[in-house]
Amino acid sequence: MWTAFSATFKRQLVTMRRAYPWSFFIGHILDGVYITIFAFLSYHFIFQGELNERFVSYTGTSDYLSYVIMGGVFNSFTVSLLMIVSRMLITEMREGTLEALLLTPSSRLGYFLGAAVQGLMRSGIEWVTIICIGLFFGLNLVSAHLALLIPILAAFCFAIFAQALVLGSFMLAFRDTYITQNTLFVVMMLVSGVSFPPEFLPQWMQCLSRIMPLYYGLDLMRAVMTKAQLSFAILQNLLLLVALGILYFFIGIIFIKQMEKSVFEKHFG
């Protein structure tokens, strides 16, 4: 597994340095920035800072801008990481290298992890950039609880990684990236509490929130990065996030295996 990991990591690193995917990079940053600007304009220029009381009761804060900017930051980060990992195999298929890859006795998990860890470098740069821009538009970071932040980030990345495996297998099944990924992204953005608390949504839509790692991740990140007080809910959400990650992970592994087989059958049958 280690060799597959490092080989993929190095390959992706070289690819990134040769041809940095600027359009994805700038696109992801701008997606976050647009959400930020939207929140900024709405808050200051349209509503003059007047909030709905339910917002405060749902979120436990009256800092609307920090709430939404955090939403934009982590939405972009999630989209970026999901895309990097989930598009791996289908890209190999399109470039004609999939057979060569599947013929090797390498560990698929190492392969995906290599791509993910390398992808984190890219997503991380985007993430920091959006946070920095957000600071100008009213993002208030309180002293982050580092001891909590690191395990939360780790759990979050793991859950997103696992979700990307499932997404990737769907891409292989549909032979499509554009429709598959963006359908997930628009739904994810609606139900995960990016620009408004999901509690506003009808009950049945809130069920969808529960299967999005972004929903838990945002809740946790907001708790440790923008709120001063910590609560027991953090631990509960962290456990739920890890459990969801594990669930996605196993589903993803099984689906990818299935898809690889059917790809082989279609190619060599």
Partner 1 sequence: MNLLNVIWAEMKKSHRHNFNNRLMYFSLFVWPVIQFVDSYYAFKPFNLGQDSPLSRFVPVEKLGLFLITGCLAYIFFWSLVQSAWMMGYEREQGTLEIILLTPAPRTLVMFSRAAANLLEAVWLFSIFAVLTILFMGGLHVAHWWLIPIAVVILMLSAIVWGGFLNTIFLFSRDAGFLYTIFEAPMAFFSGVRMPVMAFPLWAKMIAYAFPLTFVLNILRSIVLDGKNLSAIFQPLLELFLILLCLIIASFILVRYAEKHAKETGNLTLF
Q: Which residues bind partner 1 (CB under 8 A)?
A: 22-24, 26-27, 30-31, 34, 37-38, 41-43, 45-48, 50-52, 54-55, 64, 67, 174, 176, 178-179, 182-183, 186-187, 189-190, 195-197, 200-201
DSSP 192-207: TTSSS-GGGS-HHHHH
Taking the complex as a whole, how short is the minimal distance between the CB of residue 74 and partner 1, in angstroms?
16
Taking the complex as a whole, how short is the minimal distance between the CB of residue 179 and partner 1, in angstroms?
5
Nearest CB to partner 1, comparing residues 4 and 223: 223
Nearest CB to partner 1, comparing residues 48 and 229: 48
CB 9 within 8 A of CB 118: yes
Taking the complex as a whole, how short is the minimal distance between the CB of residue 183 and partner 1, in angstroms?
5
CB 91 within 8 A of CB 112: no
Q: What is the three-class DSSP state of 164?
A: helix
CB 212 within 8 A of CB 188: yes
Nearest CB to partner 1, comparing residues 204 and 232: 204
Nearest CB to partner 1, comparing residues 74 and 112: 74
Taking the complex as a whole, how short is the minimal distance between the CB of residue 71 and partner 1, in angstroms?
10
Sign of CA pseudo-dihedral 152, 157, 158, 163: positive
Taking the complex as a whole, how short is the minimal distance between the CB of residue 64 and partner 1, in angstroms?
6
Nearest CB to partner 1, comparing residues 77 and 111: 77
Taking the complex as a whole, how short is the minimal distance between the CB of residue 12 and partner 1, in angstroms?
19
Own/partner contacts of 128-133, CB < 8 Å, gap of 24 or more, are: 129/29, 130/29, 130/32, 130/33, 130/36, 130/72, 130/73, 130/76, 130/77, 131/73, 133/29, 133/32, 133/33, 133/36
Distance, in Å, from the CA atom of 210 to the CA atom of 34, rounded to the nearest integer, reads 26
Taking the complex as a whole, how short is the minimal distance between the CB of residue 206 and partner 1, in angstroms?
12
CB 224 within 8 A of CB 149: yes
Nearest CB to partner 1, comparing residues 8 and 75: 75
In terms of Cα–Cα distance, which of 88, 147, 140 is closest to 112? 88
Nearest CB to partner 1, comparing residues 109 and 211: 211
